[in-house]
Structure 1
Amino acid sequence: MPPSSFAARYGFERDTVRLDNWRQAPCNVWAFRNVGELVPSMRIRASARAADEAVGDPLGILATHAAALLRSSTDALVVMKHGRVIADYYAADFGPQDQHIVFSISKSITGLLAGLAEGDGMLDPEAPVSLYVPEIAGSVYADATVRHLLDMRITLDFDEDYLDTVGNYGRYRRAVLWHPAEARQPSLDLVGFLASLKKGPGDHGGAVSYKSPNSDMLGLVVERACGQRYADFASARLWKPMGATQDASITVDGAGAPRAAGGISMTAGDLARVGEMMRNGGRSQTGEQVLPEAWIDDTTRTGGSAEAWLAGGNFWLPDGRYRNQWYQTGYPSGAFAAIGVHGQWLYVDPSAGVVIAKLSSQPLPVDEECDRLCLSLFQAVCAAA
């Protein structure tokens, strides 16, 4: 029997992609573009707008970086300068109107929703988490504030091990329906899983300690504070006002709770629009003030603790800081970023007026060599733009 068109395109049949292998190569190349076929998802609606089209590389900005794009398993890269796309790259069978999971860039988008909720007077970052999600009494979050969540300064007894399938991280993935259930393991939804987490040594508010469940808790806080489901609030207050051209989506658990830490899928062009809005102090490309300028300034420039960042062992950006679920690089350019596993990046260089959105299907969730390569690529592109 001849291979199907699917197998001819991807090198494997669709029925070989399952919940237990969708994040592994080679299945991840297709799966990262079609998460909604594997995990229940909710739509983040955009307004009807003209769809993005590929522009290529008319200025030759990417011409010398083909090897870096290939080495870092790039599915899409969009370069925007002062709000205009000046170069882009799309891998085979992927284009400007196609969604791709952005993993932990979802955390940064959740941080923006928290900023919108605060600006609307519905959320107090200094309030206790339990004010909004009372079910977590008795968990690690019982004496934490929303600010602790925003800045990843929660003392949480949890190992952020992306390759774990049987321990606490595996239990986490099963709770959000990212991994198949196991008969010998008790079934939990996201809220139940978060309520089961325990505190580590010390008090909240110390070192920056990157733990994904904190961002899922933040997503629940935003939902409860606003009285709306995550996707509906994101659509009305972020996606439509910023001028997104395509719908996005976010995975949900069996009870409909959002995977705010990593479940958003979106287009590369709309990811670049998020970065451009950030570069412009919270304004859309049409000039609408979408997010409070003070929140953007705090997130990208003035907020965060350098001491807490280094105390958490985050030496890969020695002058960096973490604020509101975003990274400040500490570079002289003032660059800031949102980052997701398997090579997802949103890199903003205010001094050059450049935004770079990169979607990837790197085989490993964390690849430090690729990270260094990507940062060098971004700096070179910004210098040439």
Structure 2
Amino acid sequence: MRKVVTLLAVTLASAASAQDPLPVWPSAQQVELVEQRRADFPLSTLVKDIDWYQPQEHVAGGNAEPFQSARMPAIRASALDAAIKLAETEKSYALLVWKDGKLQLEKYWDIFSPESRYETASMAKTVVALAVGTAVAAGHIESVDDPISDYIPTMRGTPRGSRPVRAFLEMASGMQTPPFASASDGPYWQYSFGNDLGAAVARWPDGCVPQQEFCYANGNTAMLGWAIEGATGMRYADWLSRSIWQPIGARDASLWLDRAGGSPRYSCCLIATAQDWLRIGLLLLNHGRAGTEQVVPRDWIKRMLAPSPANANYGWQIWRGSPHNPGRTYGKGINAVVPAAEPFARDDVYFLDGSAGQRVYIVPSEQLVIVRIGTPSYQWDDSALPNMILAGIE
């Protein structure tokens, strides 16, 4: 425990955007590291080249029970065929469709299989929110209305530290994503590829109106992760394993760290199988239950999925399909626009959004979960795949 707390204190000391002058940072060696990582980053294969992400920390899994396949399909074959065709066009690696308690479709392409693991980017954010929920349920975090500095002591006395945990869950803490076009010594790239996430996040600007303006920023999720570690006194990998990953029966997974023994990159990089992302989708679908166990409180799931005040299409680290937004945006600092040409065919769709088309869709009214993992698709249409499948349901 002492080792965990000491490591956490070092990370969080870097994270404190205090009034005291920040030390000269980054060092020449840190800039060189980021330059090297930017140069050799496998952009077109970032999802499948999981060995590139080093160092990694192990997340112990549980007993992965096989999924039942449907004997009598609940979705018309023509709809599943159309979904497969779209997935193939988008050069997918895995497509899983679950309805009414059974797998309707599980398809892998090329070398991929149920055992294959992937780096699915921001899908990891939703898992962090679930882990906050288990920390609340265990009494480690008293309330989402507490200042986040209650759980990150080095943030006490800072404007950012005074903001409630809720604001970070909603991407409404005031933090703004720094410019993508910055040099390798800038806080965006030092966060993405550097070896001191705490120091990088300390330099992310507060360019948005706290608790009023939606500004999607990876630093929000990092703050939540550090709050989990500060509240529980455990490594995030250990808390995640104990409170979620093992109870849902997931296979072993891993987290990408900024350095050996350092901070996970909470906003991304939970390296896991497609089946385990289906398990996360089912956990949400089943109101926090896995089998007979209430893994995450039912009320927490309800609160996660509710529209946040600053963005009706966002909950707590998860996206909502309604109201229809034909061009979904991420707020200040991020120019990306994700289309949904048609409204979702059901008004209760919500989804995990990993960069460039990595998705887990959940549709409670149809007891439906869809997982798509594959080659990065920068023209991904959010509603196209689920609508194809929903068209095949009577």
Q: TM-score, normalised by structure 2?
A: 0.77
Aligned counterpart, 2:325 = none
CA distance in 1, matches of 2:152, 2:68: 42
Aligned counterpart, 2:28 = none
Q: Taking structure 1 as reference, are residues 283 and 268 closer, same or farther at Cα in structure 2, changes over 3 Å only? A: same
Q: Deviations over 1:256-277 (max 9, x none)?
A: 2111100111111110111111
RMSD: 2.6
CA distance in 2, matches of 1:140, 1:54: 52
Aligned counterpart, 1:348 = 362
Q: CA deviation at 1:18?
A: 6.5
Aligned counterpart, 1:268 = 274
Is 1:325 aligned to 2:339, yes or no? no
**Any idea what SS the aligned residue of 1:355 has?**
strand
Q: Taking structure 1 as reference, are residues 57 and 270 closer, same or farther at Cα in structure 2, changes over 3 Å only? A: farther
Match of 1:127 among 142, 146, 149: 146
Q: What pairs up with 1:34-49 in 2 under 5 angstroms?
A: 34-49=49-64
Q: For structure 1, which runs of at least 5 residues remain unmatched after alignment?
A: 1-16, 177-188, 310-319
CA distance in 2, matches of 1:200, 1:138: 19
Q: What pairs up with 1:51-200 in 2 under 5 angstroms?
A: 60=77, 61-123=79-141, 124-136=143-155, 141-159=160-178, 161=180, 166=184, 167-176=186-195, 189-200=196-207
CA distance in 1, matches of 2:389, 2:189: 38
CA distance in 1, matches of 2:365, 2:150: 40
Report the AA paired with residue 41 of structure 1.
Q
Q: What pairs up with 1:277-288 in 2 under 5 angstroms?
A: 277-284=283-290, 286-288=291-293
Q: CA deviation at 1:384?
A: 1.5
Q: Taking structure 1 as reference, are residues 76 and 56 closer, same or farther at Cα in structure 2, changes over 3 Å only? A: farther
Aligned counterpart, 1:241 = 247
Q: For structure 2, which runs of at least 5 residues remain unmatched after alignment?
A: 1-35, 323-343
CA distance in 1, matches of 2:87, 2:71: 14
68-77 or 164-173, which deviates more = 164-173
Is 1:257 aligned to 2:263, yes or no? yes
Identical amino acids, percent of aligned pairs: 26
CA distance in 2, matches of 1:132, 1:168: 23
Q: Deviations over 1:178-202 (max 9, x none)?
A: xxxxxxxxxxx11122223332254
Aligned counterpart, 1:230 = 236
Aligned counterpart, 1:206 = 212
Aligned counterpart, 1:304 = 308
CA contact (8 A) 2:188 2:204 kept: no
144-153 or 47-56, which deviates more = 47-56
Report the AA paired with residue 171 of structure 1.
Q
Q: CA deviation at 1:37?
A: 4.3
CA distance in 1, matches of 2:358, 2:375: 8
Q: Taking structure 1 as reference, are residues 280 and 201 closer, same or farther at Cα in structure 2, changes over 3 Å only? A: closer
CA contact (8 A) 1:140 1:156 kept: no
